[in-house]
Structure 1
Amino acid sequence: MSSRHNHRLLPASHGEGVLNLLSGFATCPGLFYTTPAADGILSRIRIPGGIISTQQCHAIADIAEQYGGGYVDVTNRANLQVREIRTGINAEVLKHLQLMGLGSHNSVVDHIRNIMTSPTAGIDPQELIDTRPFVEDWDNYIAAHPALSGLSAKFSVCFDGGGIIHVCDRLNDILFAAVLVNADVYFRLYLSVGAKGQPPSDMGILLTPKQCLPVLAALTEVYLAHTNTTNKRRLRLLELLNTLGCENYLQEVQQRLPFPLLDGETGKYLTPQPLKEFSTILPGEGKYQHIGIHPQRQRGLFYIGIVLPLGRLESTQMKGLANLAAKYGSGTLRLTPWQNLLIADIPQQWVDDVQSEIAFLGLDFSATNIKSALVACSGNKGCASSATDTKSHALALAEYLETRLTLDCPVNIHFSGCEKSCAQHSKSDITLLGVNFEADGGIVEGYHVYVGDSKQKFGREIYQYVTFTELPALIERMLYVYKIQRLNPNESFGEFSNRCAIAQLQL
């Protein structure tokens, strides 16, 4: 998306090499500054709303081939990562990417987290409002206000349009969730507060669509007013809210607004009230429903959700999908926070042809594919914090299960090399936490196994210190028990594991 205001392109005098961003305190990877990883330099490209054009796809694929490992990774915020960069990316190349709308037009704010929305925004048959304009407006606002470089690199905003494919259960600092009130569309305001890792909490505030951007701007102004932006470690919004208290924070927000914040229950001016727990959507509901072939709200058009094994896309595959989008669709790909992607706007008469060409690229679009809900961090080949080779182990597990078990619905299996849980912050059906331990006279890579939902970060622990050689058969048994003992075909693995005793799951 292009910014209409205050563009700050990279100066030509920077010469060769990856740039150290003006806002040097950013700790998250970006396009304009170096982020070392175990497998080389890592570059992360923000894709606001996850929508990327055919031309942009080709440019990024070329970067991956010329400078990186020949592939790109889709992240859990619908960013793109290029890994294994050995030599700095030429500054002229970075300027070219900026001019193509990749990365922020103002480099000092490019470290701020990607703006999240549903990958089916504008095409979801049940959505209440198309959130793409909100993403574009907020991205333009960030680019036009360099003072926002003082925000935490993890400052995150999400817009949910209330459709089938929702993102309102994803962890974000600020969430605007569309709701219908007396036939009019409003947004409920949710903020991240309380314990780390908890879903955002309902502030009891209803906003009209036109009020969202001013409220967002005021929320950032209050954050900056209470944050020492010269510190290397910036406070998370959650930390500031916990310190000041939500009521005090919102009162300062109100002072910066020309309109009153309204209580969503009473329609009156905001008054102190207990915070409501996030309850619009149960965590996990609707996950992976975007995989496969689906009708759009536009009559006669379809989108296809494609499985990317562990979010990875070879550069040749990326170019091939971009060409498909240009030939049969609207010339864009839509990245998802579940590390897959969509091709949209396909006329019905071309759906079969697109399916065949997707298969020719070596990709699949079946939700029952074990890889459709398989997630793994970069592992010890790409990250020094990881105890295990998560990506290789995840692919080996998928290969093992594909020959022995057929799933009729996705089961989210999450490999995490350490407790930071970088690849997936939300709860999964099965979490495999990497550990090193002594066995057979040496140090081996293994996993603790967790299932379902609980007050614990990863769920209920059912196994400890499982070597990877033992793991595939163990997971196969767990999934087999689920298939034969679930109450009905619609009972998810998460629901099944939550009602079962640990001993039953260990059968």
Structure 2
Amino acid sequence: MQSTTAICPSLFNATTAQDGILSRIRLPAGLITASQCQLISEIVNQFGTNQFGYGEVQITNRANLQIRTSAALSENTLLDLQDYGLASSCPDTDGLRNIMASPAAGIDSQALVNTIPLVKQWNLYLLNHPELAILSNKFSVCFDGGESINISDRPNDICFKALAIKDEIYFSLQLGSEVIGILIPYSQVIAVLAALTEVYRDYTEQKIEQRLEQDSKNLRSRPPRLRELLNDWGIDKYLDLVAEKLNSKSPSIPLKKGDEEISTPPFTRGAGGDQHLESQIERPSPLAPLPKGERGTRGYQHLGIHPQKQAGLAYIGIVVPLGRLTAQQLRGLAELAKQYGGGALRLTPWQNILLTDITIADLAKVTELIANLGLSISPTNPYAAIAACSGITGCKSAHTDTQTDAKAIASHLEKCMQLDEPINFHFSGCDKSCAQHHASDIAIVGQDSRTYKIYIGDGEIHFGRELYAECMASELPQLMERLINVYQTQRQPNQNFREFVNQSDLPELNRKLRQGAIGHA
């Protein structure tokens, strides 16, 4: 029988919330087959909860799939999920964070390399190493193949980012937000990742033993995050220990720094090589302002119809309102994937879905069938760029019902106006910002059960500049309508929303919004 005591939910250890028991199904790289969708739909319909979430599934910002049920999943149901490849045969490691890759991996013509094989190899490694269950369940790994749909800016403990140097593909190693300045051949990525993880496990064991010595009753102390290791040991000591493990197993692993090949020790970093390499590597910052060419598009450029690298095929990016699908919609999309596509769906970290491998001749028909399921493919649909945490019904930290309030804004905007570009709304029930880690155009942050703070554009804190210290939830739809109308009627040519609000005088903008409220009344 499924346990329901977790703080951070997984499949074998779920979380009890106000709106039911929350289980999180880990889908490496967000890939899910049509037959897997069918099984999940059946489970959701069998165990679905009350009016808060009956018959629904939800995509997370790490491309997991969440289900809410009225009772714990039975042992037979968990076995079915294992049989279908939706649950690890090792329950202990099933709770580790999802392995991330671009949802367009393998189909993006801009990509340098297909990272899906690396995702599968690392998932198999975790399956075969149950001793890694001791690690923090927030331990996260990302593989970026250089796709146009970029995910390397998202928070991860370890990221491998593909680079082309002299017609060869290497991966740049990144720990947290720190680009290390080391290049790793494709063939050695998993070996290096395994060594990084083994050293992290050694550190975790040491810390747990120390805590038990200090307090023998502290059996439920959380494992240390990788960032704690980096703060405690520093990057150089960590990489020296990783190099020892690598060299003891395979002393011939070639790594590349700048233009010089090195083999022993692979993680010794020379200053000259670092400086040469740093000029080739972008340092991402999840909360930094978006580059000008990506503002208003990052996370949404995959929506709509796009050609694949495979000749004669295209993929369709589908808007999933707040990441939630009914069981019927999930089954419907699975049938489209089976009949017209490659037999699988791709979940995105922006809580949407890609339907891939559609022939050009079938695009019009498939687009019509998607609309018949009540779903849109337009990047300017109000739901396309709204992210919202689970809110008060699903999280003890939340102050507000973010899901209901976000729906109210999207529904109102659908009825009263036409957006001409995606505008990113981020609803957060508290200050933790779980639903979206990167900066948004508009951040709406819960303060108590009925009020929100509103931030816009870029500011000293990652939510942006404070526009309103307090706004009633019931006032939000009309306020957002007025704010977007001011932008769309008063912007400069080619000026996007973020640029407009960054350059706006906040008192003057407030005055315009108040005038709009009087006129609306």
Calculate the TM-score normalised by the size of structure 2: 0.86
Q: Does 1:427 align with 2:439?
A: yes
For 1:178 and 1:151, the matched residues in 2 are separated by: 26
Aligned to 1:251: 240
Amino acid at match of 1:210: S
Aligned to 1:147: 131
For 2:172 and 2:501, the matched residues in 1 are separated by: 32
> Structure 2 vs 1, CA of residues 454 and 244 (structure 1 numbering), >3 Å: closer, same or farther?
farther
> For 1:262-341, what aligned pairs fall within 5 Å after superposition?
262-264=256-258, 269-271=268-270, 278-279=283-284, 284=290, 285=294, 286-341=298-353
Amino acid at match of 1:271: G
**Bigger shift: 415-424 or 367-376?**
415-424
Q: Does 1:30 align with 2:42?
A: no
Of residues 457, 468, 477, the one that matches 1:452 is 457
Amino acid at match of 1:465: E
For 1:463 and 1:219, the matched residues in 2 are separated by: 45
Provide, for residues 401-450 of structure 1, a one-character-per-residue CA deviation record: whole Å limited to 9, x for no partner.
122322121111011111122211222111100112xxxxxxx6011011
Calculate the TM-score normalised by the size of structure 1: 0.88
Task: Answer whether contact 2:185 2:255 (CA < 8 A) is retained.
Answer: no
Amino acid at match of 1:486: R
**Bigger shift: 30-39 or 348-357?**
30-39
Shift of 1:301: 0.4
Task: Answer whether contact 2:289 2:458 (CA < 8 A) is retained.
Answer: no
Aligned to 1:46: 26
> For 1:363-382, what aligned pairs fall within 5 Å after superposition?
363-382=375-394
Aligned to 2:362: 350
Q: Does 1:213 align with 2:170?
A: no
> Structure 2 vs 1, CA of residues 495 and 212 (structure 1 numbering), >3 Å: closer, same or farther?
farther
Q: Does 1:475 align with 2:474?
A: no
For 2:157 and 2:492, the matched residues in 1 are separated by: 36
Amino acid at match of 2:38: H
Number of residue equivalences: 471
**Bigger shift: 405-414 or 318-327?**
405-414
Shift of 1:338: 0.1
Q: Does 1:116 align with 2:121?
A: no
Amino acid at match of 1:186: Y
Task: Answer whether contact 1:34 1:43 (CA < 8 A) is retained.
Answer: yes
Provide, for residues 228-264 of structure 1, a one-character-per-residue CA deviation record: whole Å limited to 9, x for no partner.
3565311111122122111221121111113365434
Shift of 1:279: 4.1
Q: Does 1:203 align with 2:215?
A: no
> Structure 2 vs 1, CA of residues 207 and 465 (structure 1 numbering), >3 Å: closer, same or farther?
same
Shift of 1:19: 3.6
**Bigger shift: 57-66 or 178-187?**
178-187
> For 1:483-498, what aligned pairs fall within 5 Å after superposition?
483-489=488-494, 491-498=495-502
Q: Secondary structure at the match of 2:416?
A: coil
Amino acid at match of 1:243: D
Provide, for residues 82-101 of structure 1, a one-character-per-residue CA deviation record: whole Å limited to 9, x for no partner.
01x22221101111111110
Shift of 1:146: 0.6
Q: Does 1:62 align with 2:42?
A: yes
Task: Answer whether contact 1:201 1:277 (CA < 8 A) is retained.
Answer: no
Task: Answer whether contact 1:39 1:383 (CA < 8 A) is retained.
Answer: no
Aligned to 2:66: 81
Q: Secondary structure at the match of 1:29?
A: coil
Task: Answer whether contact 1:262 1:270 (CA < 8 A) is retained.
Answer: no
Task: Answer whether contact 1:109 1:143 (CA < 8 A) is retained.
Answer: yes
Shift of 1:125: 1.4
Task: Answer whether contact 1:204 1:265 (CA < 8 A) is retained.
Answer: no
Amino acid at match of 1:242: N
What root-mean-square deviation, in Å, do the aligned CA atoms of Structure 1 and Structure 2 show? 2.1
Task: Answer whether contact 1:261 1:270 (CA < 8 A) is retained.
Answer: no
Shift of 1:497: 2.9
**Bigger shift: 156-165 or 27-36?**
27-36
> Structure 2 vs 1, CA of residues 404 and 252 (structure 1 numbering), >3 Å: closer, same or farther?
same
Larger proportion of helix: 2
Provide, for residues 96-148 of structure 1, a one-character-per-residue CA deviation record: whole Å limited to 9, x for no partner.
11111002221110000000111111111111111100100000000100111
> For 1:436-451, what aligned pairs fall within 5 Å after superposition?
436=448, 445-451=450-456
Aligned to 1:94: 78
Provide, for residues 56-99 of structure 1, a one-character-per-residue CA deviation record: whole Å limited to 9, x for no partner.
0010111111112211000000000001x222211011111111
Task: Answer whether contact 2:427 2:444 (CA < 8 A) is retained.
Answer: yes
Shift of 1:486: 3.5
For 2:254 and 2:150, the matched residues in 1 are separated by: 28
Shift of 1:322: 0.2
Q: Does 1:418 align with 2:423?
A: no
> Structure 2 vs 1, CA of residues 184 and 395 (structure 1 numbering), >3 Å: closer, same or farther?
same
For 1:175 and 1:492, the matched residues in 2 are separated by: 30
Shift of 1:358: 0.5
> Structure 2 vs 1, CA of residues 505 and 132 (structure 1 numbering), >3 Å: closer, same or farther?
farther
> Structure 2 vs 1, CA of residues 403 and 420 (structure 1 numbering), >3 Å: closer, same or farther?
same
Gaps of 5+ in 2: 49-53, 209-218, 248-252, 263-267, 513-521
Shift of 1:166: 1.0
Task: Answer whether contact 1:308 1:340 (CA < 8 A) is retained.
Answer: yes
The structure whose Rg is larger is 2
> Structure 2 vs 1, CA of residues 226 and 363 (structure 1 numbering), >3 Å: closer, same or farther?
same
Task: Answer whether contact 2:26 2:87 (CA < 8 A) is retained.
Answer: yes
Amino acid at match of 1:300: G
Q: Secondary structure at the match of 1:217?
A: helix
Amino acid at match of 1:78: A
For 2:227 and 2:485, the matched residues in 1 are separated by: 40
> Structure 2 vs 1, CA of residues 210 and 466 (structure 1 numbering), >3 Å: closer, same or farther?
same
Q: Secondary structure at the match of 1:256?
A: helix
Amino acid at match of 2:148: I
Aligned to 2:212: none
**Bigger shift: 262-271 or 249-258?**
262-271
Provide, for residues 362-391 of structure 1, a one-character-per-residue CA deviation record: whole Å limited to 9, x for no partner.
111000101001111111122222111111
Amino acid at match of 1:32: F
> For 1:181-196, what aligned pairs fall within 5 Å after superposition?
181-192=165-176
Aligned to 1:172: 156
Q: Does 1:242 align with 2:254?
A: no
For 2:96 and 2:503, the matched residues in 1 are separated by: 40
For 1:424 and 1:147, the matched residues in 2 are separated by: 31
Q: Secondary structure at the match of 1:226?
A: helix
For 1:103 and 1:301, the matched residues in 2 are separated by: 31
Aligned to 2:202: 225
For 2:437 and 2:284, the matched residues in 1 are separated by: 18
